[in-house]
Amino acid sequence: MLKYILKRFMIMLVTLWIIITLTFILMVNVPGSPFNSDQSSNETIKANLEAHYNLDAPYHIQYLNYLKSVATFDFGPSIKQPNQTVNDLLGRGFPISLELGLVTIAVAVISGIILGIIAALRHNGFIDYMAMGFAVLGISIPNFILATLLIQQLAVNLNLLPPATWSSPAHMVMPVLALATGPMAIIARLTRSTMLEVLTQDYIKMARAKGLSPWKIVFKHALRNALMPVVTIMGTLLAGILTGTFVIEQIFAIPGMGKYFVESINQRDYPVIMGTTVFYSAFLILMLFLVDIAYGILDPRIKFHKKGGE
Protein backbone atom coordinates (compact mmCIF):
# COMPACT_ATOMS: atom_id res chain seq x y z
CA MET A 1 0.00 0.00 0.00
CA LEU A 2 2.74 2.47 1.01
CA LYS A 3 4.71 1.60 -2.08
CA TYR A 4 1.64 2.21 -4.21
CA ILE A 5 1.03 5.60 -2.62
CA LEU A 6 4.67 6.59 -3.16
CA LYS A 7 4.51 5.56 -6.78
CA ARG A 8 1.27 7.44 -7.29
CA PHE A 9 2.83 10.45 -5.61
CA MET A 10 5.71 10.46 -8.06
CA ILE A 11 3.29 10.27 -10.96
CA MET A 12 1.32 13.14 -9.46
CA LEU A 13 4.48 15.28 -9.30
CA VAL A 14 5.30 14.53 -12.92
CA THR A 15 1.75 15.43 -13.95
CA LEU A 16 2.01 18.68 -12.08
CA TRP A 17 5.33 19.47 -13.74
CA ILE A 18 3.82 18.88 -17.18
CA ILE A 19 0.94 21.19 -16.33
CA ILE A 20 3.31 23.92 -15.13
CA THR A 21 5.37 23.65 -18.29
CA LEU A 22 2.32 23.79 -20.54
CA THR A 23 0.93 26.75 -18.63
CA PHE A 24 4.24 28.53 -18.99
CA ILE A 25 4.42 27.88 -22.72
CA LEU A 26 0.87 29.14 -23.16
CA MET A 27 1.52 32.18 -21.00
CA VAL A 28 4.56 33.42 -22.92
CA ASN A 29 2.93 32.74 -26.26
CA VAL A 30 -0.35 34.54 -25.64
CA PRO A 31 0.03 38.10 -26.91
CA GLY A 32 -0.19 40.97 -24.46
CA SER A 33 1.49 41.85 -21.22
CA PRO A 34 0.32 42.92 -17.76
CA PHE A 35 1.15 46.53 -18.58
CA ASN A 36 -0.47 46.92 -22.00
CA SER A 37 -3.87 48.12 -20.89
CA ASP A 38 -2.30 50.81 -18.79
CA GLN A 39 -2.81 53.87 -21.00
CA SER A 40 -0.62 56.18 -18.98
CA SER A 41 2.47 54.05 -19.09
CA ASN A 42 5.08 54.87 -21.66
CA GLU A 43 7.81 52.61 -22.99
CA THR A 44 10.34 53.43 -20.29
CA ILE A 45 7.98 52.81 -17.43
CA LYS A 46 6.92 49.57 -19.04
CA ALA A 47 10.51 48.44 -19.44
CA ASN A 48 11.22 49.30 -15.83
CA LEU A 49 8.18 47.43 -14.63
CA GLU A 50 9.10 44.38 -16.68
CA ALA A 51 12.57 44.48 -15.24
CA HIS A 52 11.09 44.77 -11.75
CA TYR A 53 8.99 41.65 -12.20
CA ASN A 54 11.79 39.83 -14.01
CA LEU A 55 9.73 39.65 -17.20
CA ASP A 56 12.64 40.82 -19.35
CA ALA A 57 14.73 37.80 -18.42
CA PRO A 58 15.20 35.05 -21.02
CA TYR A 59 12.37 32.48 -21.05
CA HIS A 60 14.41 29.67 -19.55
CA ILE A 61 15.31 31.84 -16.55
CA GLN A 62 11.65 32.81 -16.10
CA TYR A 63 10.69 29.16 -16.39
CA LEU A 64 13.18 28.14 -13.72
CA ASN A 65 11.94 30.95 -11.51
CA TYR A 66 8.40 29.62 -11.83
CA LEU A 67 9.51 26.10 -11.01
CA LYS A 68 11.28 27.45 -7.96
CA SER A 69 8.19 29.37 -6.87
CA VAL A 70 6.10 26.19 -7.15
CA ALA A 71 8.66 24.15 -5.23
CA THR A 72 8.75 26.64 -2.39
CA PHE A 73 5.04 27.35 -2.71
CA ASP A 74 5.74 31.08 -2.87
CA PHE A 75 4.39 32.66 -6.03
CA GLY A 76 5.47 36.17 -5.14
CA PRO A 77 3.43 39.33 -5.38
CA SER A 78 0.55 39.84 -7.76
CA ILE A 79 1.33 42.29 -10.53
CA LYS A 80 -2.12 43.77 -10.80
CA GLN A 81 -3.28 43.71 -7.20
CA PRO A 82 -0.86 45.90 -5.35
CA ASN A 83 0.37 44.87 -1.92
CA GLN A 84 -1.05 41.36 -2.34
CA THR A 85 0.93 38.20 -2.77
CA VAL A 86 -0.51 35.34 -4.77
CA ASN A 87 -0.58 33.32 -1.57
CA ASP A 88 -2.80 36.02 -0.02
CA LEU A 89 -5.27 35.67 -2.88
CA LEU A 90 -5.26 31.88 -2.67
CA GLY A 91 -5.66 31.97 1.09
CA ARG A 92 -8.72 34.16 0.74
CA GLY A 93 -10.33 32.56 -2.31
CA PHE A 94 -9.66 28.87 -1.74
CA PRO A 95 -11.79 28.31 1.41
CA ILE A 96 -14.78 29.82 -0.35
CA SER A 97 -14.29 27.82 -3.54
CA LEU A 98 -13.69 24.69 -1.49
CA GLU A 99 -16.91 25.24 0.40
CA LEU A 100 -18.85 25.73 -2.82
CA GLY A 101 -17.21 22.67 -4.36
CA LEU A 102 -17.67 20.34 -1.40
CA VAL A 103 -21.29 21.29 -0.79
CA THR A 104 -21.95 20.80 -4.51
CA ILE A 105 -20.30 17.37 -4.53
CA ALA A 106 -22.17 16.29 -1.41
CA VAL A 107 -25.51 17.43 -2.82
CA ALA A 108 -24.83 15.88 -6.25
CA VAL A 109 -23.62 12.52 -4.91
CA ILE A 110 -26.22 12.03 -2.20
CA SER A 111 -29.27 13.15 -4.16
CA GLY A 112 -28.02 11.51 -7.36
CA ILE A 113 -27.61 8.14 -5.67
CA ILE A 114 -30.95 8.33 -3.88
CA LEU A 115 -32.73 9.34 -7.07
CA GLY A 116 -31.00 6.53 -8.97
CA ILE A 117 -31.96 3.90 -6.40
CA ILE A 118 -35.58 5.00 -6.30
CA ALA A 119 -35.77 5.01 -10.09
CA ALA A 120 -34.25 1.51 -10.25
CA LEU A 121 -36.60 0.10 -7.63
CA ARG A 122 -39.61 1.67 -9.36
CA HIS A 123 -38.20 0.51 -12.69
CA ASN A 124 -40.46 1.57 -15.58
CA GLY A 125 -42.94 3.11 -13.19
CA PHE A 126 -44.11 6.70 -12.96
CA ILE A 127 -41.40 7.78 -10.50
CA ASP A 128 -38.74 6.23 -12.71
CA TYR A 129 -39.93 8.16 -15.78
CA MET A 130 -40.16 11.39 -13.78
CA ALA A 131 -36.70 10.98 -12.30
CA MET A 132 -35.10 10.10 -15.62
CA GLY A 133 -36.88 12.90 -17.46
CA PHE A 134 -35.57 15.27 -14.83
CA ALA A 135 -32.10 13.75 -15.23
CA VAL A 136 -32.08 14.32 -18.98
CA LEU A 137 -33.03 17.96 -18.39
CA GLY A 138 -30.34 18.29 -15.75
CA ILE A 139 -27.68 16.90 -18.03
CA SER A 140 -28.63 19.00 -21.04
CA ILE A 141 -29.03 22.42 -19.40
CA PRO A 142 -25.63 24.15 -18.99
CA ASN A 143 -24.97 25.38 -15.47
CA PHE A 144 -24.70 29.06 -16.43
CA ILE A 145 -28.14 28.99 -18.04
CA LEU A 146 -29.57 27.26 -15.01
CA ALA A 147 -27.87 29.86 -12.81
CA THR A 148 -29.41 32.71 -14.78
CA LEU A 149 -32.85 31.07 -14.70
CA LEU A 150 -32.60 30.54 -10.96
CA ILE A 151 -31.59 34.14 -10.33
CA GLN A 152 -34.43 35.40 -12.48
CA GLN A 153 -37.08 33.20 -10.89
CA LEU A 154 -36.05 32.70 -7.26
CA ALA A 155 -34.26 35.99 -6.63
CA VAL A 156 -35.80 38.56 -8.94
CA ASN A 157 -39.38 37.36 -9.49
CA LEU A 158 -40.14 35.56 -6.24
CA ASN A 159 -37.62 37.37 -4.08
CA LEU A 160 -37.00 34.18 -2.13
CA LEU A 161 -33.22 34.07 -2.14
CA PRO A 162 -30.39 36.59 -2.26
CA PRO A 163 -29.23 36.93 -5.88
CA ALA A 164 -25.47 37.01 -5.31
CA THR A 165 -22.43 36.88 -3.02
CA TRP A 166 -21.54 34.34 -0.40
CA SER A 167 -22.30 35.07 3.19
CA SER A 168 -25.01 32.78 4.52
CA PRO A 169 -26.52 29.35 3.81
CA ALA A 170 -29.30 31.07 1.84
CA HIS A 171 -26.64 32.49 -0.45
CA MET A 172 -25.42 28.97 -1.16
CA VAL A 173 -28.68 27.54 -2.45
CA MET A 174 -28.67 28.84 -6.00
CA PRO A 175 -24.97 28.47 -6.83
CA VAL A 176 -24.97 24.93 -5.45
CA LEU A 177 -28.18 24.04 -7.30
CA ALA A 178 -26.80 25.43 -10.54
CA LEU A 179 -23.55 23.58 -10.15
CA ALA A 180 -24.87 20.29 -8.71
CA THR A 181 -27.77 19.58 -11.05
CA GLY A 182 -25.66 18.32 -13.96
CA PRO A 183 -23.44 15.93 -11.97
CA MET A 184 -26.43 14.82 -9.91
CA ALA A 185 -28.33 13.90 -13.06
CA ILE A 186 -25.36 11.95 -14.39
CA ILE A 187 -24.95 10.10 -11.09
CA ALA A 188 -28.68 9.36 -10.92
CA ARG A 189 -28.75 7.84 -14.39
CA LEU A 190 -25.64 5.81 -13.81
CA THR A 191 -26.80 4.58 -10.41
CA ARG A 192 -30.12 3.56 -11.90
CA SER A 193 -28.62 1.57 -14.75
CA THR A 194 -25.95 -0.17 -12.69
CA MET A 195 -28.46 -0.85 -9.94
CA LEU A 196 -30.82 -2.47 -12.44
CA GLU A 197 -27.98 -4.60 -13.70
CA VAL A 198 -26.79 -5.57 -10.24
CA LEU A 199 -30.31 -6.54 -9.20
CA THR A 200 -30.34 -9.25 -11.88
CA GLN A 201 -27.11 -10.79 -10.60
CA ASP A 202 -27.04 -14.26 -9.13
CA TYR A 203 -25.78 -13.06 -5.77
CA ILE A 204 -28.89 -10.90 -5.40
CA LYS A 205 -31.05 -13.93 -6.13
CA MET A 206 -28.98 -15.82 -3.60
CA ALA A 207 -29.56 -13.06 -1.04
CA ARG A 208 -33.31 -13.38 -1.68
CA ALA A 209 -33.04 -17.14 -1.32
CA LYS A 210 -31.54 -16.54 2.12
CA GLY A 211 -34.76 -14.83 3.14
CA LEU A 212 -33.25 -11.37 3.58
CA SER A 213 -35.51 -8.33 3.58
CA PRO A 214 -35.65 -6.19 0.42
CA TRP A 215 -34.11 -3.32 2.36
CA LYS A 216 -31.09 -5.39 3.31
CA ILE A 217 -30.75 -6.74 -0.20
CA VAL A 218 -30.65 -3.26 -1.71
CA PHE A 219 -28.37 -1.59 0.79
CA LYS A 220 -26.09 -4.41 1.83
CA HIS A 221 -25.81 -6.45 -1.35
CA ALA A 222 -26.70 -4.26 -4.31
CA LEU A 223 -25.71 -0.68 -3.56
CA ARG A 224 -22.01 -1.19 -2.99
CA ASN A 225 -21.65 -3.03 -6.26
CA ALA A 226 -23.80 -0.52 -8.07
CA LEU A 227 -21.70 2.37 -6.79
CA MET A 228 -18.45 1.20 -8.33
CA PRO A 229 -19.10 2.69 -11.78
CA VAL A 230 -20.25 5.87 -10.03
CA VAL A 231 -16.91 6.12 -8.25
CA THR A 232 -15.17 5.58 -11.57
CA ILE A 233 -16.76 8.66 -13.11
CA MET A 234 -16.24 10.76 -10.01
CA GLY A 235 -12.89 11.98 -11.37
CA THR A 236 -14.51 13.41 -14.48
CA LEU A 237 -17.35 14.89 -12.46
CA LEU A 238 -14.92 16.54 -10.04
CA ALA A 239 -13.06 18.14 -12.90
CA GLY A 240 -16.38 19.36 -14.31
CA ILE A 241 -17.49 20.81 -10.99
CA LEU A 242 -14.13 22.50 -10.58
CA THR A 243 -14.28 24.25 -13.92
CA GLY A 244 -17.95 24.96 -13.26
CA THR A 245 -16.99 26.95 -10.18
CA PHE A 246 -15.18 29.51 -12.38
CA VAL A 247 -18.38 30.32 -14.21
CA ILE A 248 -20.67 30.10 -11.23
CA GLU A 249 -18.42 32.26 -9.07
CA GLN A 250 -18.50 34.90 -11.79
CA ILE A 251 -22.28 34.82 -12.16
CA PHE A 252 -23.02 34.97 -8.44
CA ALA A 253 -20.11 37.33 -7.66
CA ILE A 254 -18.67 34.83 -5.23
CA PRO A 255 -15.20 35.92 -4.09
CA GLY A 256 -13.61 32.51 -4.60
CA MET A 257 -10.48 31.40 -6.38
CA GLY A 258 -12.24 31.23 -9.73
CA LYS A 259 -12.68 34.98 -9.73
CA TYR A 260 -8.94 35.58 -9.34
CA PHE A 261 -8.18 32.90 -11.87
CA VAL A 262 -10.35 34.41 -14.60
CA GLU A 263 -9.26 37.94 -13.80
CA SER A 264 -5.59 37.01 -13.79
CA ILE A 265 -5.86 35.56 -17.27
CA ASN A 266 -7.60 38.64 -18.63
CA GLN A 267 -5.02 40.91 -17.04
CA ARG A 268 -2.02 38.70 -17.86
CA ASP A 269 -1.17 38.68 -14.16
CA TYR A 270 1.42 35.96 -14.65
CA PRO A 271 2.21 35.04 -11.03
CA VAL A 272 -1.49 34.72 -10.23
CA ILE A 273 -2.11 32.62 -13.35
CA MET A 274 0.68 30.29 -12.37
CA GLY A 275 -0.35 30.19 -8.73
CA THR A 276 -4.02 29.44 -9.32
CA THR A 277 -3.30 26.93 -12.09
CA VAL A 278 -0.86 25.00 -9.95
CA PHE A 279 -3.22 25.11 -7.03
CA TYR A 280 -6.24 23.91 -9.03
CA SER A 281 -4.21 21.17 -10.71
CA ALA A 282 -2.68 19.94 -7.49
CA PHE A 283 -6.09 19.87 -5.88
CA LEU A 284 -7.70 17.96 -8.75
CA ILE A 285 -4.84 15.48 -8.94
CA LEU A 286 -5.17 14.84 -5.24
CA MET A 287 -8.92 14.30 -5.54
CA LEU A 288 -8.43 11.82 -8.37
CA PHE A 289 -6.00 9.96 -6.16
CA LEU A 290 -8.57 9.85 -3.36
CA VAL A 291 -11.16 8.52 -5.84
CA ASP A 292 -8.80 5.66 -6.68
CA ILE A 293 -8.32 4.88 -3.03
CA ALA A 294 -12.08 4.91 -2.49
CA TYR A 295 -12.49 2.52 -5.41
CA GLY A 296 -10.01 0.14 -3.84
CA ILE A 297 -11.90 0.24 -0.56
CA LEU A 298 -15.24 -0.45 -2.29
CA ASP A 299 -13.94 -3.31 -4.38
CA PRO A 300 -11.87 -5.88 -2.49
CA ARG A 301 -10.71 -7.39 -5.78
CA ILE A 302 -8.52 -4.37 -6.44
CA LYS A 303 -5.16 -4.73 -4.83
CA PHE A 304 -2.74 -1.86 -4.40
CA HIS A 305 0.13 -4.22 -3.96
CA LYS A 306 0.87 -7.75 -5.02
CA LYS A 307 1.32 -10.34 -2.35
CA GLY A 308 3.64 -13.17 -3.30
CA GLY A 309 1.89 -16.29 -4.52
CA GLU A 310 -1.57 -14.81 -5.07
Report the interface residues with another protein, using CB under 8 A.
201-203, 205-213, 216, 220-221, 224-225, 298-301, 310
Min. distance of Cβ 302 from another protein in angstroms? Answer: 10
Residue 148 CA to residue 178 CA, distance in Å, equals 9
Task: Check: CB of residue 171 under 8 Å from CB of residue 218.
Answer: no
Nearer to another protein, 55 or 222 (CB): 222
Min. distance of Cβ 298 from another protein in angstroms? Answer: 7
Nearer to another protein, 228 or 247 (CB): 228
Min. distance of Cβ 136 from another protein in angstroms? Answer: 24
Nearer to another protein, 60 or 215 (CB): 215
Min. distance of Cβ 194 from another protein in angstroms? Answer: 13
Nearer to another protein, 52 or 303 (CB): 303
Min. distance of Cβ 223 from another protein in angstroms? Answer: 10
Nearer to another protein, 50 or 299 (CB): 299
Min. distance of Cβ 207 from another protein in angstroms? Answer: 7
The angle subtended at Cα 116 by Cα 115 and Cα 121, nearest 5°, is 100
The angle subtended at Cα 242 by Cα 239 and Cα 248, nearest 5°, is 140
Nearer to another protein, 205 or 305 (CB): 205
